[in-house]
Structure 1
Amino acid sequence: MCVCSKKIKYYCLPVVLFLVILALSLAVYADPGPSDKNSLGAMVTLTGGADGRKALDAQKPAVQESSRPLKEKFDKKTSHTVSPDIIRNFQKTIAEKASRSGAAGKKGGITHAQYKNLRSLIDSNSGGTDVRTHFNRNNGTPIFIKTGKNNSRKSARNTGTSLSSAKTQAEKFLTDNRDLLRLSDPTAEMVMKKEWKDDLGSKHFRYQQTHKGIPLWGREVMVHLDANDSVFLFQGRYEPTPEERTEITPEITADEALDAAKKHLRLTHPDVTATETALVIYTASDGKKTLAYQLDISPRFNQRWLYFIDAKNGSLLHRINNIQNELVTGSGFDLHDAPRTFNTWYENGTYYLLDPSLPLDEGPPYSPVPMENFGNTYILDAAQGDSELYPITSSSPDSGWDPAGISAAYHTRRVHDYYRNTFGRNGIDDENMNYMVVLHLLRDYPGAFWNGKFVCLGDGDRRKFSSLATGLDVIAHEIQHGVTQFTANLIYENQSGALNEAYSDIFACMIDRDDWTVGEDVTLQSPYYLRSLVNPALGVSSLPTKMSEYRNLPNTEDGDNGGVHINMGIPARAAYLVAEGLSAEGLGSSIGRDKTEQIFYRALTTYLQASSQFLDARYATIQAAEDLHGAGSPEVGAVQAAWDAVEVYDGNIGTPIDQNPTSTDIVGGQDMMVYLSPAPYEGMYDLYVQTIPSPFTGYDPRLDSRDLNYEFVRKTRPSAVTFSDGSTGLFYVGIDYNLYGVLLDDPDNRDYKQKITDSGDIWSFAMSPDGRYFAYTSTAPNDNNIYVGDLDTEEMTEYPAVPFSDLPPGYDDVINTILYVDSLMFDYTGKTIVFDALNCLSTPDNPCTEDEDSGHRYWSVGFLNLSDGSFDYPFPNQRPDVDIEYPCFAYNNNFVIALDVIDRSVPGSVSTGTWTLNWQNQTEQFVVDPNFNVYGEMFSGAPTFWGDDDYITVQALLGNETLAYRVPIDASWKGDPASAELLNDYEVILPVMHRTGVRNLNAEIQVSASSLDFGTVEPGYVSTREVTLTNTGNQDIDISDIVISGASEFSHNGTNTLLPRDASMNIRVTFSPARAGGTTSATLIITSDADVPQTNISLTGTSAYTAAIQTSASSLDFGTVEPGNVSAREVTLTNIGDRDIDISDIVISGASEFSHNGTNILLPRDASMNIRVTFSPEQAGKTSSATLIITSDAGVSQTNISLTGTSADSNGGSGGCFIGTAVW
């Protein structure tokens, strides 16, 4: 019991209550014990293995003594025996990358100078507020400025202005808007890359961004002018003017850079060179700019790498696998038995499968056999290898040909003819580059790819796919990669890479036009095509169909370069919708393939750039549609509707522009280090707390509180929490496996050293920073649960740790390699737990048993999301000879973690390192090697962040002692080991940093309206409203569901997403009544993890009775009438609505020679009335026109009928008149 003194009475009550509730919670929800081991479904053997997975080494890794305590026994009734193919290579052993600049500055936002410049641009623009902009949130530069309508289409014949005069205007635009563009000297920094005038009279200028003459890789802008030399569009993915200190002088040579790249590729052959080498400035995802050598390396014809080597020290900054392939598995062997005719080349008694007339047919033939000339088509044979190429030949022009070669030649010509006839394109590069197709690549190779110079095709594996040369759309897909390379040159990673792949599928379906599938002629497995643009989810692999299904994958080889072959389904489906899908699916009006291909081709060749994203593709295709068909045309509407349907919205519609997580506010308070120190007895520790002054000048023993524990502590991380009243409690697991707590306000008082449990089954423990949640694991050897308690609701939940599986949803055969979870830590919100777990992987020759040395054992890390109980793993395909352990969150965000990596892959040696992993930009940074000894040992740093996230504390092994050091962390989360500082003169085990301040978190969604009224809408019409959600709290909010409850006439376009702090998103809600009459209501419900988890917005709309007038004619022509005579016509008005219509006015606007006999009247439903109109000219030889205007309360309030008549010359013609009779 607690006896409160005056000094501590204000702090005693809440903490003691907390300890009592915690004790009760743990007692009530104690571990069920070993008898429950089979109810968890923790481990299921997958019989039969799985295709396509790489085997483990047959040799078991050398056994290393663990640096942490393990549970005594692994007790299971049955062991796991799985196929050795089950484990794929570890995604990527964490590798150090370039550090982020420490002065990256605040992201996003528009500066005051930009705002002033933008206001000036708006004021000077004839379109006024028609100026539209969209900014890059990462660096504040505009990616899209539309200043008005493009007049080129109306002035297509106005081609008098020259490119030089237009160029002057383009450069003037850049100079006049330098503040808006954030460029110091635009004309110096932007170097002309390409300029051209199109058939519509528009002029286009593409600029490469440079700094002091050195190009910034992938950074371009474009300025577009109409036929009158007025700028109508600016586009750009570029950087603000780099700082003056940006290095431009290399310290290594290009040859040294090539050596570094070859070393990374493990190439030793001296003949391997870079086909292209350039000095560039490489911009990392965090904005840091580094002088680099860009090298294009193709060690084999089926390999093409783009390397960026730091020009200062030769380190690797980035690399891209530039082989643009299908990554398809295939089967099949025979080709279609169809007769074809094709060109060959005959020389020295041999016929070659070579066409010297394609793509360049320039008259007299010349010898193309040495492949030194351009303008030819070569079909070559790799002979099931990957290094030597052979011509395909025959001794007769009419027999002995390779059927695969004939198919390839036939398809290549069809592809060429399509581009030539549809767009006037002269081959892949538009300059008659050779077509080269390589067949029979490797043995049973199921892939096809473009390697930057030619197409490579395998023969398939004769089980799932036939020879890839069979498919016209396959070859079209690969050649389109070449067309993309020589136009927009979309970078082959993330969204730009997915656009690259999507364009290849789009034009494959434009060339092979009889369907909207790709690979239907080569696919032998269900559904008998590789991909579908109609529904990308239905192909051999299920792909996303819209942005709410977008898969954020790492930009690694294992992550498919950020999902280029996965997320491609989104823009590919958009193209299908434009062409046919809007009409077919009732989403709008499509425009056909002919118009769609012109729009998408123009977007690719005129507007898209290397780094273009999906949003850029939307803008580019809309602009192309406006160029070709005019602003506001049905074609533009179709493009807009298609992108809306796949949820790539204009600006911030349906999802926030930037969904990157953010850091919360730093909390003030005193930093302290809670740690263990060895007790006099082996395996036992004491609990210590060291207060860290600011600034830290060295260890002060007076600030080190010792022996705070009630019981000796077992070797597991302690936990600390500061409560809302300002008091701080510590929690630890004793050697008796019970939980203990101590209050720091009076640590010498035994009443503040509480034994919280007496069940003796606590293995590890953690407390959330706000003191609401706790988590623990049990000592049961077979228990892989994480137990989480909520002290507010007094509820307990168990979460069985289930590892990553790449099996489709719904499969139960998930192989659970996790034996148990150990270290636990909460994020700053208390909603996510990061943990490490011991895994055991069985193989036929080494199954997991009770023996601790059995199987392949390794530590992995994972996340538990308490909002939905889901698990996530940053390294789902981890190698079993690498341990990843002791993870912890940054102090002020939940997208950066620190962790330890122990690499045992090299027999007889161990390498160790502490790293940070940034989920926001998919980067890893090295912090420090916690093993300060020169020889390798298994040792973990057990990293922990400081309160400002500017340091990481690690335990470091020096000699036989474990000491605590703090390592500075820069803005890129990279450590500076050289500046590490010793924190304590004595041994420190498992340190945990804690700041004693109280963090006040709030997660609030503010809505722009609590209700939306759609007014009165006629059936068949649509009314639209928007509501804006704004995160006004100080932490990110996860929106998990958006639904409409109530009438089906309402719909919305909102998507589940992360809503960062200070960010907003617009949700578009539509009301489309099906029947006339009545008021309809519903509720828009937004569910999130905000403090108020459900936000409701009421919706109301009224369905009007329809009121419509149908006329018998939209125009009346009275012919030729002599002056003084009268000609009469009649028009019939019919009420086709479902209510009466009040006709309030009937007038004629225009020439006075026209008159009518209509009167204002109530026109009942289904009734008709005739209006007699007469034309009586007064002057000879004159044509007159006017408009008959009927005003009513119909849905369309004004009905217009045009009137025309001509007065005859006075020198001839007979008189006469036509008398019309009105019918009432």
Structure 2
Amino acid sequence: MKWKSLMASVVLGTSLVSGGSLAHAEKSAENVSVETPQFVKDNIKSSKVVSKKAVKKFFKDNKSKLKINANKNLKFVKSETDDLGMTHYTYQPVVDNIPIANSRVVVHTNKKGKVISINGEFHQDAPRNLKQTKKVKKQEALDIAWDSLDVSREETNTVQKSLSGETFNTLNENNELVVYDNDGDYQLAYHVELQFADPYPANWQMYIDAETGEVIQANNVAEEATGTGVGVLGDTKSLNTYLSGGTYYLYDTTKPMSGVIETFDNQHYGYSNLPGIYVTDSGNTFYSENQKAAVDAHYYAGEVFDFYYDNFGRVSYDDQGSSIRSTVHYGSNYNNAAWTGNQMIYGDGDGSTFTYLSGANDIVGHELTHAVTESTAGLVYESQSGALNESFSDVFGYFVDPEDWLMGEDVYTPGVSGDGLRSLSNPNAYNQPDHMDEYQDLPVTEEGDWGGVHTNSGIPNKAAYYTISNLGIEKSKDIYYRALTVYLTPNSDFSYARQSLEQAAQDLYGSSAANAVGQAWDNVGVY
């Protein structure tokens, strides 16, 4: 399965990484190419655009350049105006009014209504009509998806109870008819999502051929890594807790416009005990050894929430105010932490490779940024787009903890100072390339780290280092957030990321900042 993780399995041999003890059966299409996104901002004709109707005219006026028939190939999704006064019109590419999976097109206008750029997956070679016949029914596709897994629906359909007494089901199923781009062969398929916590953390993204019933692709993209109380490193923290029946819970209801931040103890059981039991204390002083991991998980989840809210006004990872649930003491000597699609899990480490993994705020920032990426750019987790997925998590992990350029140094190899999992300033020190001359063209398999997502992330990481060193943290984090949430699209490669970051810098801080971003990417050989 694909895990959006802190490390690659070739480093640890566990699933803090891709693979390991949480790995289960996976089918994946071989040699599937994806639509390369385009970023167009030169030589485009534009009268004043202030409405959906005006955007339609813009597409018509630029049909020869863009080669898009907006009437037939694009479906309007939404328009949003940001704090700069720019309006962004988002469209879904379609064939026969059926959405093309993992695709979007966005038109960006300035406050005067002038179109400054258009970007996304244009699918200019997509057919005008589909020749394929839909023979498989929607429910049949869902049954095929379940039959392809090594667990049954009944095994995953477990019920948990929240602190308020409400019950929630850990199983979530979604099923949508889409057009799937299989190496330029556009075919009808069902996009099936199966998310559950028991008997293992899963967020299965599956595509079922609507004519033959074949499983075209199946990836588990559950994302891994990694009130007063004492944390993992012995520091005392102030905690937001909840009092009920004379007992204090690690249950934070103070976040604005949001759900809660709640923390559980798995008691080393593993899959079958998620989310576990609430972490409680009779005196509101979480000082015991067993509570240290929970103190940090709870505190840092709140810190990452605050980082995104205070800097960008983002309400939780999905900007919809979803609750953030964390579970500590997961498994036995578990060298891993994971975002499973609906919660965080943290192992205690084996005491040698890691100590309690919740003890590093940059790991928590890294993993929750995977969740932000999932709900914004949707970067596909393989090859260059996957390396960008990892890199943006590293970069925002740095923004959360900017004391040094290392990742995970607080919990990695306890007792050994000065080392970490990766370095933004010196990727070569951790066997990562820092220039395209060193790019590793790896196979898109588990053994190949899904095309080198953890390996080649060193290149955009080094570009981020150059950007931050030149522009400073404040400007850089604004630029990176805007690129992630406004310009990047699912299949972005390194060159496209450069353009997105340059455009974000231009929007926010003008040409000098855009030039600085461009120079940073020049330095790593991405032109």
Q: TM-score, normalised by structure 1?
A: 0.38
Secondary structure of the corresponding residue to residue 520 of structure 1: coil
Match of 1:512 in 2: 401
Cα separation, 1, equivalents of 2:441 and 2:30: 22
Work out whether 1:612 is the aligned partner of 2:492. Answer: yes
Pick aligned residue for 1:147 from 39, 42, 62: 42
CA distance in 1, matches of 2:129, 2:309: 49
CA offsets 1:594-645 (integer angstroms, 9 cap, x no match): 11111111111111111111111100110011111223x2x12210110011
Tell which structure's C-alpha radius of gyration is larger.
Answer: 1
Is contact 1:359-1:427 (8 Å) kept?
Answer: no
Matches of 1:346 and 1:568, distance apart in 2: 44
Q: CA deviation at 1:554?
A: 1.8
Give the structure 2 partner of residue 565 of structure 1: 454
**Which of 94, 102, 127 matches 1:210?**
94
Contact 2:202 2:341 in 1 (8 A): no
SS of aligned partner of 1:375? coil
Equivalence for 1:165: 50
Higher relative strand content? 1
Q: Is the 8 A contact 1:257 1:309 kept in 2?
A: yes
Alpha-carbon offset, residue 324 of structure 1: 2.3
Instruction: Within 5 Å, give how 1:508-587 maps onto structure 2.
Output: 508-524=397-413, 528-539=419-430, 542-580=431-469
Q: Where does structure 1 lack aligned partners over 5 or more consecutive residues?
A: 1-49, 55-87, 101-136, 152-160, 329-333, 361-373, 581-589, 650-1224
Does the aligned pair in 2 maintain the 1:359–1:434 contact within 8 Å? no
- Tell me which of 581, 596, 599 is aligned to 2:479: 599
Q: Residue type of the partner of 2:219?
A: I
Give me the whole-angstrom Cα distance separating, in 2, the residues matched to 1:297 and 1:94.
13
Paired AA for residue 250 in structure 1: K
> Counterparts in 2 of 1:438-453, with a 5 A limit?
438-453=327-342
- Contact 2:96–2:129, Cα closer than 8 Å, also in 1: no
The one-letter amino acid of 1:600's match is: Y
Q: Residue 307 of structure 1 is aligned with which of 206, 227, 234? A: 206
Deviation at 1:320, TM superposition (A): 2.4
Instruction: Pick the structure with more helix per residue.
Output: 2
1:233 CA displacement: 0.6
Aligned counterparts of 1:52 and 1:438: Cα–Cα separation in 2: 22
| 2:255 is the alignment partner of 1:358 | yes
Describe the shift of the 1:144–1:459 C-alpha distance in structure 2 as closer, same or farther (beyond 3 A): same
User: In the alignment, what sits opposite 1:255?
Assistant: 139
1:957-978, CA deviations, whole angstroms, 9 ceiling, x for partnerless residues?
xxxxxxxxxxxxxxxxxxxxxx
Matches for 1:1065-1144 after TM superposition, within 5 Å: none
Hey, what's the Cα distance between the residues in 2 that align with 1:138 and 1:355? 42
Report if aligned partners of 1:473, 1:518 keep a CA contact under 8 Å in 2.
yes
Amino acid in structure 2 at the alignment position of 1:302: P
**Equivalences for 1:156-555 in 2 at 5 Å?**
165-183=50-68, 185-240=69-124, 242-247=126-131, 250-270=134-154, 272=156, 275-284=173-182, 286-300=183-197, 302-326=201-225, 335-360=232-257, 375-384=259-268, 385-388=270-273, 389=275, 390-399=277-286, 402-524=291-413, 528-539=419-430, 542-555=431-444
Shift in Å, 1:382: 2.0
Write the distance in 2 (CA, Å) between the matches of 1:415 and 1:237: 31
The offset of 1:533, in angstroms, is: 0.2
User: Is the CA contact 2:286–2:295 (under 8 Å) kept in the aligned structure 1?
Assistant: no
Displacement of 1:247 in angstroms is: 4.5
Contact 1:274 1:295 (8 Å CA) reproduced: no
Query: Structure 2: which amino acid aligns with 1:171?
Result: K
Letter matched to residue 626 of structure 1: Q
Change over 3 Å in CA distance of 1:517–1:400 after alignment to 2: closer
The alignment partner of 2:237 has SS state of coil
Cα deviation, residue 518, structure 1: 0.7
Shift of the alpha carbon at 1:177?
A: 2.3
1: CA distance, partners of 2:298 / 2:186:
46
Letter in 1 for 2:525: E
SS of the counterpart of 1:514? Answer: coil
Report the residue type matching 1:283 in the other structure: D
Offset of residue 244 of structure 1: 4.6
316 and 232 in structure 1: CA distance in 2 versus 1, 3 angstrom threshold: same
- TM-score, normalization: structure 2? 0.85
Structure 1 residue 93: Cα displacement:
12
Distance 1:523 1:203, change over 3 A: same
Amino acid at match of 1:498: A
Distance change >3 Å, CA 181–CA 557, structure 1 → 2: same
Query: Which residue number corresponds to residue 65 of structure 1?
Result: none
Local SS of the residue matching 1:205 = strand
RMSD, matched Cα? 3.1
Please report how far the alpha carbon of residue 96 of structure 1 lies from its aligned counterpart in structure 2 after TM superposition. 9.2
Distance in 2 of aligned mates of 1:295 and 1:426? 27
CA–CA distance in 2 between the matches of 1:261 and 1:182?
36
Instruction: Check conservation: 1:492, 1:561, Cα contact below 8 A.
Output: yes
Once the two structures are superposed, residues 46-97 of structure 1 have per-residue CA deviations (whole angstroms, 9 ceiling, x without a partner) of: xxxx99679xxxxxxxxxxxxxxxxxxxxxxxxxxxxxxxxx99x9999895
Residues 1103-1132 of structure 1, C-alpha deviations (whole Å, 9 max, x = no match): xxxxxxxxxxxxxxxxxxxxxxxxxxxxxx
Q: Is the 8 A contact 2:28 2:218 kept in 1?
A: no
% identity of equivalent residues:
35
> Structure 1 residues 647 and 99, CA, compared in 2 at 3 Å: closer, same or farther?
closer
Q: Are 2:25 and 2:150, in contact at CA under 8 Å, matched by a contact in 1?
A: no
Counterpart CA distance in 2 for 1:424 and 1:97 is 39
Alpha-carbon shift at residue 543 of structure 1 (Å):
1.2
**1:348 shift after superposition:** 2.3
Distance 2:331 2:120 in 1: 42
Deviation at 1:277, TM superposition (A): 1.4
How far apart are 1:521 and its partner, in Å?
A: 0.2
CA contact 2:37–2:492 (8 Å) conserved in 1: no
Q: Secondary structure at the match of 2:514?
A: helix
| Distance (Å, rounded) in 2 between the aligned partners of 1:348 and 1:93 | 44
Pairwise CA distance, 1:387: 2.5
| Cα distance, 1:414 vs structure 2 | 1.7
Find the aligned partners of 2:503 and 2:28 in 1 and give their Cα distance. Answer: 42
Say if 1:482 and 1:414 are closer, same or farther in 2 by CA, change over 3 A. Answer: same
Paired residue total: 484
Deviations 1:1136-1175 (CA, angstroms, capped at 9, x unpaired): xxxxxxxxxxxxxxxxxxxxxxxxxxxxxxxxxxxxxxxx
Classify the secondary structure of the residue corresponding to 1:554: coil
Q: Which amino acid aligns with 2:526?
A: V
